Amino acid sequence: MNTMTLPINFAYVISAGLFIFGLKMLSSPATARRGNMLSALGMLLAIVVTLFNAGLDYKWILVGVVIGSAIGLVAAYKVQMTSMPEMVALFNGFGGIASLLLAWGEYHQHPELSVFIALVTFLSAFIGGITFSGSMVAFGKLAEMMPSKAIVFSGQHIVNGAILLAALVSGVIFAMNPADTYAIFLVIVVVSLLFGVTSVIPIGGADMPVVISLLNSYSGLAACAAGFVINNTILIVAGALVGASGIILTNIMCKAMNRSLANVLFSGFGATTQTAGSAEQQGEIRPATAEDVYYILEAADSVAFVPGYGLAVAQAQHVVQELGELLEANGTEVCYAIHPVAGRMPGHMNVLLAEANVSYDQLVEMDDINPRMDSIDVCVVIGANDVVNPAALEDESSPIYGMPIIETFRAKTVIVLKRSMNPGFAGIQNALFFNANTRMYFGDAKASIQALVGEFKSD
């Protein structure tokens, strides 16, 4: 302890205040950017004052900061908006591994820990490890470096249970006598990394919004635990804010799918439900050409675009925006109705459309569009499937029964852009496609919309 300890800790209080104000300003898109700046300022302040601690090894700090900043900046400015979920998954993982390394480093320097400190050291390493390897798997799935489908095998729950049990037992042994159990600590590190992998592989691509939110929360909680280890309140405050944020997002995502967290984590959804309810919902589909769709849109007073992950895959956000502009110029009221789980992470579609210069007041939430759906002339569904499937409301045998959907079928006309008649993630046929007021417009989303833009322009 030196004379700087007190001012440093006061500076941390200011940092915590800036984080809190920063998050508060995220409550509106108009102030959000300044909020982020405030938060970054808080972080900068905390980092700078920490450097005033006595006896630091600046050489290695410089090495870490320079390498880290370079990687961080390149990643942040190179990443495409469609790849944002991968990016966030990756960063989550780095936050986790940093907590693990911090706990490990602290333990390595001071192996004589009290039971409480040993326990939080265990938690920090364990949660950090899960966050890291789990995020890497999520990253691999999102970046399609590995199959994004749920990977399930028999006895999976038993294997996961055994790993978790091993971790907890190691944790207890470690906490009882940390000074003599270095090997056990290493076991904890390995087991936590293993557990992260085995707990994320059974989760399918479209459930990724939940997983990323949960891992986000873990990275905060790991930071929190690290704060307990080094007895530092700013880590605890900041970590708790992040932890709470992740938990709220996880909860919103689960609600939007009408599934419990346990169901998302353990059911292997999407790998096991292919058989459900496909046979009975057949009927006639009504394909439409670009010209047909053009006439429908041209006559419409109000159009709601309903984007899904397919929009991101086709990189169609810019052409959709262009089409939206043309429609508005034609006197049509345009909005974009976004389901909470559309895409691969919370808010994914909003960011893509914002990137394409769609005004944020045109981005409408599910709960705001559904009550006025009857008055919408045309819904254009782009690369979304399960989130507009009426089976969620009507068919009790459907695996997605009870999930809130964007009720496009109530609009006067629905145009569905789709590559083919393949069912969506949940493997369920969509009754919407066979409705009398639905027209199917087959093809690549981007090319299809480009064709529509062409029709409008040539007119």
Question: Which residue, 142 or 288, has its beta carbon nearer to another protein?
Answer: 142
Which residues, in sequence order, are CB contacts of 136 under 8 Å at separation 6+? 89, 90, 93, 196, 197
The answer to whether 264 touches 257, Cβ cutoff 8 Å, is yes
Contact present, 171 and 188 (Cβ < 8 Å)? yes
- Judged by beta carbon, residue 61 or residue 183, the one nearer another protein is 61
Residues 6+ apart with CB under 8 A from 169: none
Q: How far is the CB of 417 from another protein (least distance, A)?
A: 23
**Spatial distance between the Cα atoms of 97 and 57, rounded to a whole number of angstroms:** 21
State how far the Cα of 303 lies from the Cα of 334, in Å rounded to an integer: 5
* For another protein, the closer CB: 12 or 269: 12
Q: Which is nearer to another protein, 41 or 197 (CB)?
A: 41
**Long-range own/partner contacts, residues 423-426 (CB < 8 A, 24 or more apart):** 423/278, 423/385, 424/206, 424/385, 424/386, 424/389, 425/204, 425/205, 425/206, 425/270, 425/385, 425/386, 426/206, 426/269, 426/270, 426/273, 426/386, 426/399, 426/400
**CA 71 distance to own-chain centroid:** 22
Written as one string, the DSSP assignment of 260-304 is -HHHHHHS-TTTS-TTTT-SS------B--HHHHHHHHHH-SEEE
Nearest in space to 430 (alpha carbons), one of 451, 416, 448: 416
Shortest distance, position 114 Cβ to another protein, whole Å? 9
Question: b/e for 252-283, b at 16 or more Cβ within 10 A?
Answer: ebbebbebeeeebbbbbbbeebeebbeeebee
Name which of 61 and 145 has its Cβ closer to another protein.
Answer: 61
Coil, helix or strand at residue 329: helix
Selected catalytic residue, list 374, 386, 395, 459:
386
Dihedral angle sign, alpha carbons of residues 253, 259, 263, 269: negative
What is the C-alpha separation between 447 and 293, in angstroms, rounded? 14
Element (H, E) at 5: helix 5-25
β 378-382/363-365 pair status: unpaired
Q: Which is nearer to another protein, 33 or 157 (CB)?
A: 33
Tell me 431's DSSP state. G
Closest to another protein by CB, 67 or 162 = 67
**Does the annotation count 386 as an active-site position?**
yes
Q: Pick the closest to residue 406 from 386, 428, 421, 424 (CA basis).
A: 386
State in angstroms the smallest separation of the CB of 354 from another protein: 4
H or E element in which residue 382 lies: strand 378-382
218 or 409: whose CB is closer to another protein? Answer: 218
User: Catalytic residue numbers?
Assistant: 386
